[in-house]
């Protein structure tokens, strides 16, 4: 049996903004496909910073981060776009395009990978129906509530079945019933092979689902729970 390569690996990664103190330090982490991780830590501990590293919005200040076995410090622009196509992101502040309708926002990742218009529209409608936004296809994001925007962002992040799904506080604006439904969606993605990372303050999820918890404390990742043997896969 061959030894599986991690799809994300951190080797002594440190991040600081400008001249500030390190937000993340000595991060050593390997994450594998079909694994599920909760990313936790106090407000300001560095969860969004770690997500930014993973969608390559920022680069490590030092150390090596490899995604799909490519060193992010050395990739070309073309490679960056290619890798990003395989990563779905739910941003903490949603990042929806306000000049596009809800349907167009959600269908965008399929446009990027070259799906035809009919297929894009059908798939986007299906996922929007599923997240309870079937009545909002032609609405502009601006007029939606926070919880509705959040569901549009989630629909957009999962529609192209990414290999890595990064969800930054994805249930912060919805009620418990919808939050559970969305967690079911993330679980389904994980079961289909996606490496899922969910940043959350919602302790109930972390305690209920027996997934790996990556907790950031004083800039370091503390693995408080391991799910190796349950489709998890983490080495620290
Ligand atoms: N663009 C930036 N420039 C300078 N400092 C930043 C920037 N973004 C974040 N920081 C700082 O980095 C630290 C970590 O911030 P980050 O947003 O990663 O935390 P977080 O864990 O996501 O917090 P929250 O739970 O509130 O979302 C904070 O001290 C923050 O002030
Ligand atoms: Mg954050």
Residues 115-135: pLDDT tens digits?
A: 999 999 999 999 999 999 999
29 pLDDT band, cuts 50/70/90, is very high
Q: How many CB atoms lie within 10 A of CB 200?
A: 21
CA pair distance 214, 41, nearest whole angstrom: 8
Specify the pLDDT at position 224.
Answer: 62
Query: Cα(111)–Cα(118) distance, rounded to whole angstroms?
Result: 11
Nearest to 123 by CA among 141, 106, 135, 105: 106
**pLDDT digits over 62-113, tens only?**
999 999 999 999 999 999 999 999 999 999 999 999 999 999 999 999 999 9
Residue 207 — very low, low, confident or very high, per pLDDT cuts 50/70/90?
confident
Torsion of CA 44, 228, 55, 215, to 10 degrees: 0
On whether the CB atoms of residues 52 and 39 are closer than 8 A, the answer is no
| Atom number of ligand 1 nearest to Cα 17 | 4
> Is the CB of 45 within 6 Å of ligand 1?
yes
Burial per residue of 16-34, b for 16 or more beta-carbon CB atoms within 10 angstroms, e otherwise: beeeeebbbbebebbbbbb
- Ligand 1 pocket residue status of 19, Cβ below 6 Å: no
17 lines ligand 1 (CB under 6 A): yes
Using pLDDT thresholds of 50, 70 and 90, give the confidence band for residue 154.
Answer: very high
Q: What does pLDDT average to over the chain? A: 92
Interval between CA 169 and ligand 2 midpoint (Å): 7
What is the number of the ligand closest to the CA of 45? 1
Q: Please give the pLDDT value at position 230.
A: 40
* 193 to 52, 108, 117, 206: CA distances (angstroms): 22, 22, 26, 20
Look up residue 61 and give its DSSP letter.
S
Nearest ligand, CA 41: 1
Distances (CA, A) of 29 to 1, 8, 230: 23, 8, 18
User: Which atom of ligand 1 is closest in space to residue 46's alpha carbon?
Assistant: 18
CA distance 35 to 200: 17
pLDDT of residue 236 exceeding 50, the answer is no
Q: What per-residue confidence (pLDDT) applies to 99? A: 98
HSE, CB side, 13 Å, CA atoms: give it for residue 215.
Answer: 14
Cα–Cα distance between 13 and 59 in angstroms, integer?
10
Identify which of 206, 193, 202, 186 has the alpha carbon closest to the alpha carbon of residue 233: 193
Confidence class for position 233, pLDDT limits 50, 70, 90: very low
- Decide the pairing of beta strands 70-71 and 220-225: unpaired
Which atom, in ligand 1's list, is nearest to the CA of 41? 21
Task: Answer yes or no: is the C-beta of 44 below 6 A from any ligand 1 atom.
Answer: yes
Q: For ligand 1, pick from 14, 15, 17, 41 the residue to mutate: most ligand atoms within 8 Å of CB.
A: 17
| Residue ID of nearest Cα to ligand 1 atom 25 | 43
């Amino acid at each position: 049996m061959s030894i599986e390569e991690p799809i994300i690996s951190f080797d002594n990664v440190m991040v600081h903004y400008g001249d500030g103190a390190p937000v993340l330090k000595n991060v050593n982490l390997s994450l594998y496909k079909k694994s599920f991780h909760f990313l936790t830590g106090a407000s300001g501990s560095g969860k969004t910073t770690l997500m930014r590293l993973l969608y390559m919005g920022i680069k490590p200040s030092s150390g090596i981060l490899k995604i799909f076995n490519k060193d992010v410090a050395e990739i070309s622009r073309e490679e960056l776009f290619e890798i990003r196509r395989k990563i779905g992101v739910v941003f903490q502040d949603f990042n929806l395009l306000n000049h596009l309708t809800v349907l167009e926002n959600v269908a965008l990742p399929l446009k990027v990978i070259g799906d035809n218009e009919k297929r894009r529209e059908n798939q986007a409608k299906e996922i929007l129906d599923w997240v309870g936004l079937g009545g909002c296809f032609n609405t502009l994001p601006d007029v939606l509530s926070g919880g509705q925007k959040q569901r549009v962002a989630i629909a957009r992040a999962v529609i192209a079945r990414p290999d890595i799904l990064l969800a930054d506080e994805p249930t912060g604006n919805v009620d418990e019933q919808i939050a559970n439904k969305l967690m079911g969606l993330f679980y389904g993605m994980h079961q289909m092979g996606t490496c899922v990372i969910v940043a959350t303050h919602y302790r109930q999820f972390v305690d209920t689902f027996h997934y790996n918890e990556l907790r950031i404390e004083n800039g370091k990742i503390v693995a408080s729970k391991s799910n190796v043997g349950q489709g998890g896969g983490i080495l620290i």
